[in-house]
């Protein structure tokens, strides 16, 4: 599902929802990986928001998975570079990441200024049935977050967010 915020808002913010976040782990070779797995301040903020929402709903917090961080960062950078906002070959990408499944899910978001901030992103996901289901899935155990910044869809200073989930 694609959401577009008010035309009166100078900033565009889109969300893509997965109708089904469960993908069997496919055995594929290769990996798209960025270097380093220490979360940035923005990524830590998003993790705190995600885990806060999960705790508020009686769910365990998600642990950071370095393989998922690498693939999420790489994909956010790819979306900025190609100016395309889409899940693309999500199943293959996540299965190739080296992260343990057997199930994977993904939430994407982008925005500028306050619309790219962690609180707004998570609030928007919670207001979207598919994204909410991903955030509150009891079987998720691990998460990887990647946030890339740059000009996206004609908006300078945009934050493009990928949150990848793994578990059962």
Number of residues written out for the chain: 168
86-98: string of b/e by CB count within 10 Å (b at 16+)? eeeebbebbbbbe
More confident residue, 11 or 109: 109
Tokens linked to 98: 């080296």
Model confidence at 74: pLDDT above 50: yes
* Angular region, 112: left φ>0, alpha ψ -120 to 50, beta rest: beta
Taken in order of first residue, the domains within the chain and their CATH numbers are 41-167 (3.40.33.10)
53-72: string of b/e by CB count within 10 Å (b at 16+)? bbeeeebeebebbbbbbbbb
How do residues 120-137 score in pLDDT, each as one tens digit? 999 999 999 999 999 999
User: Read out DSSP for 5-64?
Assistant: --TTSSS--EEE--S----PPP--------S--SPPHHHHHHHHHHHHHHHHTT-PPPEE
Rounded Cα distance, 17 and 129, in Å: 8
CA angle 88, 77, 113 (to 5 degrees): 105
**CA dihedral defined by 28, 31, 37, 41, rounded to 10 degrees?**
-100
Residue with tokens 């190739």: 96
More confident residue, 8 or 162: 162
Indicate the pTM of the whole model. Answer: 0.79
How do residues 76-101 score in pLDDT, each as one tens digit? 999 999 999 999 998 899 888 888 88
How do residues 3-61 score in pLDDT, each as one tens digit? 323 322 223 333 333 323 333 332 222 222 334 679 999 999 999 999 999 999 999 99
- What is residue 17's predicted lDDT score, i.e. its pLDDT? 31
Tokens linked to 115: 């619309």
């Amino acid at each position: 599902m694609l959401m577009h915020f008010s035309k009166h808002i100078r900033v565009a913010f889109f969300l893509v929802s997965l109708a089904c976040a469960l993908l069997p782990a496919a055995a594929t070779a290769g990996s798209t990986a960025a270097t380093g797995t220490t979360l940035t301040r923005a990524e830590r903020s998003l993790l705190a928001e995600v885990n806060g929402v999960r705790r508020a709903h009686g769910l365990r917090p998600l642990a950071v998975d370095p393989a998922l961080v690498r693939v999420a960062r790489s994909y956010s950078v790819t979306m900025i570079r190609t100016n395309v906002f889409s899940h693309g070959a999500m199943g293959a990408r996540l299965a190739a990441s080296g992260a343990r499944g057997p199930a994977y899910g993904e939430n994407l978001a982008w925005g500028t200024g306050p619309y790219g901030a962690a609180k707004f992103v998570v609030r928007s996901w919670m207001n979207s049935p598919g994204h909410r289901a991903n955030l509150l899935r009891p079987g998720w155990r691990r998460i990887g977050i990647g946030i890339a910044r740059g000009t996206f869809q004609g908006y300078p200073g945009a934050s493009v967010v990928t949150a990848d989930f793994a578990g059962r």
